[in-house]
Structure 1
């Protein structure tokens, strides 16, 4: 609807088949605008020469002695399975022969030999008994509020305790593609309803699932007792040190403790006590700001918003009297209880406000819980939160663990001379990009650690607080995941084509070693960092780190790649790492977002070996269809299953002229049944081996 593709700000500036629509609808054309971080805090290059100590403590390639992701406290905690591989049951291993990279215009879900795929649920599928069946040409906000939302991202599926045939699915709904959702003529005649439908299509979904037996495909249950939609208008409570702050009060909520809705929910994580954390990411695009410096630091313009929601609801414009603070009420980590559809979800202010990709929990040996999160913006930061209190057998008490604690931001230091980090991605003389680092406290014991800022200001304007404290500017830190077997932390840095450009302050550094003024030398492909906290203690304030992967296509003669020393000619090409996951053996899995525009292949899911002689070996498991992104990977290797969210299939096309027909592949509208869409629908997909553990043989 609305804006023709050739009028979008990123039209003609994306590479390959990366759609300008992705930039417009997903992140509000962030790359078409100036970087948000114009602070003058120290860059990595400025401090690199001060840290030439060697990396003996890092233990590259090995598993730290006694390393665990959880302490003894967790073993007795309810819902301890979380979303680790195989529901935490261990065992199992996915055997497959890596597929060849799939050209970017292939409209198919491609899986390894010996595997089948199964669509569990799609956009618009009704999840309540009184919900109408999806009708692409007869949509309404009331219907969407009772149907599976759009552009599912974070995903978890867990079997119920004591019953492997029943379980629950939780998914985020990050953003909407109105140009794919609506007939353009109808949308132009009904702009108000289009906006209301979009608000209800955001948020999260909780859906019960069933299967015949373990290892078989899951199917969603329309009448599930726990089914729930959380949308852009669902009431949330606010907790933590900033709850009730004047910075969060509006005319509609003078308490500063009740917010309507959650928006742009990207990645997330399941807690050891069975709740789900979700990160509010590119919330800036939904608001019209005032032109303040704090708005600018979060990428919020004083111009009309990207989506025009302020035309429907006054709270989406800070220029409307009484709603100046509504913007401050988004950009948080939210927590929901999928077991209780009557519970009120919570926004946790103690974890800080920024563009959270997600939040993932590790339990320290002393029982405190640690939540890690990346701020998905060029030149922004990596954070962790350490709870004040300890995990216990009391589930209700555990649900309050993220309300109090200390917030930290990461500073990385390299161990190579700055002169050896030239921006090309060439390894320094010691043979590795690595070094040490520290977690800088932003809050401590309920008090601000940032000069000149109150604790409420630190938590509401966390980016500015981190600027002041000298955090290291990173290349779009997205998913930050602790390995459930080793305890090591892995950070996906998607890319940053602005690093090292003329007029930009941040050049290459050892933690972000690729930069360039041209597209050929810029960091288009991203990288992955492996971080080991001192003594493998999640509460430690120091760490060692190394770059595991410098992503890219080894066939590209210009771009430098690095695969932990593994021969580049033996890996699957990989670009734009986004979401991370682990199987029950602690093997890393990486989903991508942007490969069509960087290396010319459909986005994909890859397995990466972390130990032994094959450390750094990248093997492609699947590829998603034309225009789609791979999201929310979930590895249940004990069940020989992998789950992914197929987000924005066919992005770059339109309702009238689709470029993808996934998942129904109805190519002729005249052949469609009532309500069916002859075009793409974001979906949750299970990829499984019908024969169980296999040797990579099969027909699909």
Structure 2
């Protein structure tokens, strides 16, 4: 039986070195990103701030005038971009006439202290799990037993630390625009599995080699068929179903695009350079209009060893010593010092495309989208039907990217048309963003104070890296640009951002939102100080950038900051587009962003326990009218957990979120979270006597007067 939070057993309070600075678990940083924040950021470039580049000293009038020409005076909001348009912040505040309502009706919850071990939802809603780590999804998979795990069993079970999430209709012919699709009563749940934490997964009965093999099977992705009795009601997953699938480190992937088959992609195991086993550290993602799912390989650097002889490896943070996971002890390809495996490192760091409707199709790694630490990849269709993908490189002082396909999407739901559309990410143009602020340098002092014009805003340019199949970077070939994309972006002078994670276009307006999670090193010795688009030194709380383009294929844009995050009650450097700071839910460390079917922005956070000593959660943000900038917290996740996803369906009045790394600050013997199986002390539950945390997919839905849904 489940019990109320106030009646649950008290959990031990772990102490770690990170807790001297905050309340994020040290284990999360150790396993998830190889402690990247504890090391100097690997971007040593001296890119100049755009405003100070004399050769690019373009006025605001000229910049936006050029944007108008490129866009053909496309209307953005209520105003056309012309020779002297309004600033992006003004345009974004105009009503767009989209949506059918104000979204879900709920009263914002109170922020929860970082020690709370519960999923907290608004009054009138309840939550349940759809699927948990270790739940069997393939034939031969056994019910989860923490004392009897094996690599073969984990390969048949839902993986660990789920991140990106979507639920697609059961038939691709039911796909319309992603904001109009009805999910019906049968669907496909797709989730990423980012990383593992062996300290809370295993007891001492497992030997180290077995632990490592189980971890390799727990990475990757899952596809699971789900059913429900009625729309708007909770889902159950099908334990055995035709489309259920596990992607893990032994799954074969196809490598495509301009870098496929080149010398830098070949190994002794794959002399063709066109296929690779497995996918690593899959973080966020995106869903395409043709019904495939994109997944970003993010902190892959923590799994591989390099000799250090190639200086380019340092730009990605690949280490020369042993790795945390130790997979090099079992498989020589993870130690690229081994003869024949020197290029294995080049085969990770890509955007992966998976077709959940075809369990026999090999997933694809798209080299045309560049290699870096991909948070995710989000798609929108331009007016000329080309496919545009926005991407962020999740590390301090890294960049924002855009891909524009060479070919155009075809309409139709027949098999041939869908097969054609699945080729659209194999060839196209790649760009990186450069931003310009419009305020005097003296007004950007690192404190986060709003400039005298009342907004953080300006203009920008998409700098070409690859165009029309040719390199736009002096001294680098196309394959070099795509394999060492960070170095190419350094050379063209891209703008350093504060950990640009999820980058997502609004499907109603086309405006693009960039979640900059944080950057505590900004303004430190030898590091770039505050800029108008990154206005705080020692930025612990992060911010959201809003980009307004003429259309998605334009190379010019206007931008503004929608939110400069933090807890306004203790931090006076917050900003919410003019909305009163004392009326918002405190928010810190924005990570993933999404849009509901009414066009509202939703933000999930990763790092609030460290920054403001509150549990992470998901938040709705109004984008237009008098409420623009209003932040309302909908959900809070358990202690040490991260809110991933999210997926919000206003029509069904349902919200979905993956709860990642709950209880990461504990151990197997002394768990600090019991999520999601909260049981009375001493009660024997479905997983035996162990009641430790299990990363899970959670669904939130309206209560119906205490009646069951069926």
TM over 0.5: yes
Give the superposition deviation at 1:672: 3.5
Separation in 2, partners of 1:465, 1:681 = 40
CA distance in 1: counterparts of 2:703 and 2:117, whole angstroms: 23
Is residue 650 from structure 1 mapped to residue 679 from structure 2 by the alignment? no
CA contact under 8 A between 2:374 and 2:394: conserved in structure 1? yes
- Are 1:216 and 2:229 counterparts? no
Q: CA deviation at 1:137?
A: 0.9
Q: Does 1:529 align with 2:542?
A: no
What secondary structure, in the 3-state scheme, does the structure 2 residue paired with 1:677 have?
coil
C-alpha distance after superposition, 1:38-71 (max 9, x if no partner): 01222346349945527834453556999799xx
Q: Does residue 1:478 correspond to 2:504, yes or no?
A: no
1:155-166 matches, within 5 Å, as 155-160=165-170, 164-166=184-186
For the pair 1:170 / 2:184, whether they are aligned, the reply is no
Q: Does 1:462 align with 2:485?
A: yes
Unpaired runs of 5+ residues, structure 1, are 70-84, 516-521, 693-700
User: Helix, strand or coil: the match of 2:186?
Assistant: strand
Match of 1:314 among 322, 332, 344: 332
Question: Aligned partners of 2:422, 2:680: CA distance in 1, in Å?
Answer: 47
1:540 equivalent in alignment to 2:562: no
Cα-to-partner distance string for 1:229-278 (whole Å, 9 max, x where unaligned): 00122100000000001011001000000100001000000000000000
Cα pair distance change 1:64/1:100, threshold 3 Å: closer
Tell me: CA distance 1:467–1:459, structure 2 relative to 1, closer, same or farther (3 Å): same
TM-fit CA distance, 1:7: 14
Post-superposition CA distance 1:331-383 (Å, at most 9, x none): 00000000010111000000000000000001000000000000000000000
Query: What is the aligned counterpart of 1:585 among 598, 618, 640?
Result: 598
Shift of 1:665: 1.5
Once the two structures are superposed, the pairs formed by residues 338-417 of structure 1 within 5 Å of their partners are 338-392=356-410, 393=412, 394-417=417-440
**Aligned mates of 1:63, 1:425 — CA distance in 2:** 21
How far does residue 594 in structure 1 lie from its aligned partner after superposition? 0.5
Instruction: Please list every run of at least 4 consecutive aligned residues from structure 1 whose deviation after the TM superposition is greater than 6 angstroms.
Output: 5-8, 63-69
Matching of residues 63-142 of structure 1 within 5 Å: 93-142=103-152
Q: Match for residue 180 of structure 2? A: none
SS at match of 1:17: coil
Residue in structure 1 matched with residue 536 of structure 2 by the alignment:
514
Distance 1:429 1:401 in 2: 45
TM-score by length of 2: 0.89
| Residues in 2 aligned to 1:503 and 1:59: alpha-carbon distance in whole angstroms | 32
Residues of 2 paired with 1:15 and 1:676: CA distance? Answer: 35
Q: CA deviation at 1:445?
A: 1.1
Shift of 1:671: 2.3
Would the aligned equivalents of 1:94 and 1:640 in 2 still touch at CA under 8 Å?
yes
1:270 and 2:287 matched: yes
152, 161, 166: which is aligned to 1:151? 161
Once the two structures are TM-superposed, the CA of residue 676 in structure 1 deviates from its matched residue by: 6.2
Change (3 A) 1:123 1:551: same
What does 1:578-617 correspond to in 2, within 5 Å? 578-617=591-630
Residues 68, 167 of structure 1: CA spacing in aligned structure 2 closer, same or farther, 3 A cutoff?
Answer: farther
Deviation track 1:286-308 (CA, whole Å, cap 9, x = no partner) reads 00111131111001011111211
* Separation in structure 2 between the aligned mates of residue 30 and residue 12 of structure 1, nearest angstrom: 13
Q: What secondary structure, in the 3-state scheme, does the structure 1 residue paired with 2:699 have?
A: strand
Q: Is the 8 A contact 2:93 2:628 kept in 1?
A: no
The aligned counterpart of 1:72 is none
Aligned to 1:16: 22
2:213 is matched with which residue? 196
TM-score (norm 1): 0.90
Q: 1:94 to 1:61 in 2, by over 3 A?
A: farther
In structure 2, how many angstroms separate the alpha carbons of the residues matched to 1:470 and 1:30?
23
